[in-house]
Amino acid sequence: MPLKGVEQIYKHNSPRDILRSYFGYDSFLEHQEEIIRHLAAGKDALALMPTGGGKSICYQIPAMLQSGVGVVISPLIALMQDQVDALRQLNIRADFLNSSLSAQKTREVEKRMVAGQLDLLYVAPERLLTDRFIHLLHQTQVALFAIDEAHCVSQWGHDFRPEYLQLSILSQKFPEVPRIALTATADSVTRKEILKKLNLETAAQFISSFDRPNIYYRVEIKQNWKKQLLDFLNTEHLKDSGIVYCLTRKKVEKTAAWLSEKGYKVFPYHAGLDQKVRLAHQRRFLHEESVIIVATIAFGMGIDKPDVRFIAHLDLPKSLEAYYQETGRAGRDGHKADAWMIYSLADVIAVRTLLDRSEGDMQFKRIQHRKLEAFLGYCETTGCRRQVLLGYFGEELPRACENCDTCHGEIETWDGTIAAQKALSCVYRTGQRFGAEYLSNVLRGSDNERIGRFRHDKIPTFGVGADLSKKEWKSIFRQLIAAGLLFVDLESKGGFKLTDKSWAVLRGEKSVQFRKDPETKKAKRTPRLISKHENDFFDQTSTDLWEKLRALRLKLAKEQDIAPFIVFHDRTLRELVAYLPRSLEEMRDISGIGEHKLELYGDKFLDLILEHVRQNT
């Protein structure tokens, strides 16, 4: 598609004019307009917005309002092509520079940048920091710098990129150019580090709600992970796109192969795969429907596929930031999506072991352990999960969300104070060097040679827990670790030790509530593709039109080798079904149809709608 001429710039438009004319929306989301006007006035900003909250518009429109190019620093080399394709579909002058380009193509992009023929340029931090690129920037009129995924600057965070630490040079070499740092996840510690490391201490902070009300949060105890995952997919997400996260590359490969045998269109993704293979798998996920990616945390940052209907975690993430970032890739279109996770005591011990064996100093390990403890608190909460999740980021949700498993009454609780005292006492009396299996046997009074060898059949806690099963005692130990009442001592090969908090429980000064681990139940199959709740279609005629529109969208996308959602989001197709516009003028009122998309696709979609109306009236 030819780029716009130099004379066609946007500086005479207002932010709302651009929003309507180019993006096809009538109103801004929370903080968007404030940030746009702040940046356009030449001031720095930090923007924290949830995934799908419209961060990109906050720097795209200011770059269009101002003369010069908006330079977007992004770690997402694999996604730059799709980001630029989406902007060009809106007739916005955009390009990217990364290692995928030939030397000749790189020179062409650089030439357009210096000549003022671009409004947005996406570049990786590694390239931006080179002497050559800094030299080119000095020859270019720069409208702003946008530092996307800014949490990558934090050494305490979940996606640390050392190159981000050097981006502070922008304030030194280009002091007059406004900068904006953007991220979807940052607790108070990470937020302070972003401001400090990027020299943005005086920047205005715009913090939107972290709530994603359309996501249903659910945590189950891992028992038979294959059966649990298959039941979840078969009964709730049979034809949906989604992401399954695993902790190790080996498990990614194993899970992807197994799901493929079960008939799912699934691809593995991890850092050990060849780059071309990773890019091919990512592209199929973005461009096709009903695709599942099984991945390590190497996959996902910045993924903007709007119709991801589920995120499944087969292993425990390391922090709530990581979990929030990963689950936030679901339901970007605002329609219902699931964040489903299974975990076990073994997962808790595995993550703690990884943290303790990491190369970080003691301060790093302490912070990471606190993050893990906060995440375990979320997993084991007896209250609203959304309140716990938002509370971690400093946001208060006044009422329970009614959209998580605990709010739906799937979790039962019981007073476990006496059981906790028995368990903690057993840990103490056995020398604080044994794990859950052994301690459960002692509490249940098992006739065990090893117990006899250590003479633990003579201690007061031997047999005092015979009323509970081994499975129930393992659940208790898991929850005691999650509550910080026990910790895993790696020096004693994973034995449990008491913490400072333990003594208040032992003395009867503090009560303990435990969750009952629910039995895994196979859910009833419910169709999700076309349901009243999902798409607001109440009749077969509307459903038929929906499928016709999706087929046309897919055809147009394949012709241009772009993702279908770049043509139109599902939200736009839904409105076309609901309002049945009879002219191009009426199509202008549909969300997501700007002037250029109306010019590109209006006649094709209008002809289809009019033919559908004729056939059904």
| Domain residue limits, the chain | 15-207, 215-410, 413-516, 532-615
Comparison of pLDDT for 186 and 418, the residue scoring more: 418
- Tell me what pLDDT residue 521 has: 54
- Tell me what pLDDT residue 322 has: 87
Mean pLDDT of all residues in the chain?
89
Element (DSSP H or E) covering residue 414: strand 412-415
Q: How far apart are the first and last CA of the chain?
A: 39
- Tell me what pLDDT residue 523 has: 46
Q: Is the pLDDT of residue 317 over 70?
A: yes
Distance of CA 115 to the CA centre of its chain: 37
- Tell me what pLDDT residue 47 has: 97
Mean pLDDT of 283-301: 86
Mean pLDDT of 196-218: 95
- Tell me what pLDDT residue 156 has: 62
Mean pLDDT of 235-261: 95
Encode pLDDT of 514-532 as tens digits: 988 876 554 443 433 333 3
- Tell me what pLDDT residue 527 has: 37
Cβ proximity of 328 and 301 under 8 Å: no
- Tell me what pLDDT residue 590 has: 96
Q: Is the pLDDT of residue 197 over 90?
A: yes
- pLDDT-derived band of residue 362, with 50, 70 and 90 as boundaries? confident
Encode pLDDT of 95-134 as tens digits: 999 988 999 999 999 999 999 999 999 999 999 999 999 9
Q: Is the pLDDT of residue 564 over 80?
A: yes
Tokens representing 473?
A: 């005692």
- pLDDT-derived band of residue 188, with 50, 70 and 90 as boundaries? confident
Which residue type sits at 615?
A: Q
- How far apart are alpha carbons 32 and 50 in whole angstroms? 12
Fold assignment, 215-410: Rossmann fold (3.40.50)
- Burial string for 202-212 (b: 16+ CB within 10 Å, else e) reads ebeebbbbbeb
Encode pLDDT of 592-606 as tens digits: 999 999 999 999 999
pLDDT-above-90 percentage for the chain: 71
Per CATH, the number for 15-207 is 3.40.50.300
Q: What is the CATH architecture of 413-516?
A: Orthogonal Bundle (1.10)
As to burial, measured by CB atoms within 10 angstroms (0-12 exposed, 13-18 middle, 19+ buried), residue 167 is buried
- For 271-275, 408-412, 453-457, which range has the lowest pLDDT when averaged over its residues? 408-412
Q: Is the pLDDT of residue 337 over 90?
A: yes
- For 247-261, 457-471, 474-488, which range has the lowest pLDDT when averaged over its residues? 474-488
Encode pLDDT of 392-437 as tens digits: 888 999 999 999 999 998 778 899 999 999 999 999 999 999 999 9
- pLDDT-derived band of residue 356, with 50, 70 and 90 as boundaries? confident
- Tell me what pLDDT residue 534 has: 47
- Tell me what pLDDT residue 4 has: 36
- Tell me what pLDDT residue 1 has: 31
3-state helix, strand, coil in the chain (%, to 5): 45, 15, 40
Within this chain, domains 15-207 and 215-410 share the same CATH topology = yes
Q: Is the pLDDT of residue 66 over 70?
A: yes
Element (DSSP H or E) covering residue 292: strand 292-295
Q: Which of 151, 152, 171, 172 is nearest to 47 (CA)?
A: 151
- pLDDT-derived band of residue 533, with 50, 70 and 90 as boundaries? very low
- What's the pTM? 0.83
Tokens representing 483?
A: 């509550």
- Tell me what pLDDT residue 8 has: 44
Q: Is the pLDDT of residue 484 over 90?
A: no
513-516 and 495-498 beta bridge pairing: unpaired
- For 1-5, 160-164, 331-335, 399-403, which range has the lowest pLDDT when averaged over its residues? 1-5
Fold assignment, 532-615: DNA polymerase; domain 1 (1.10.150)
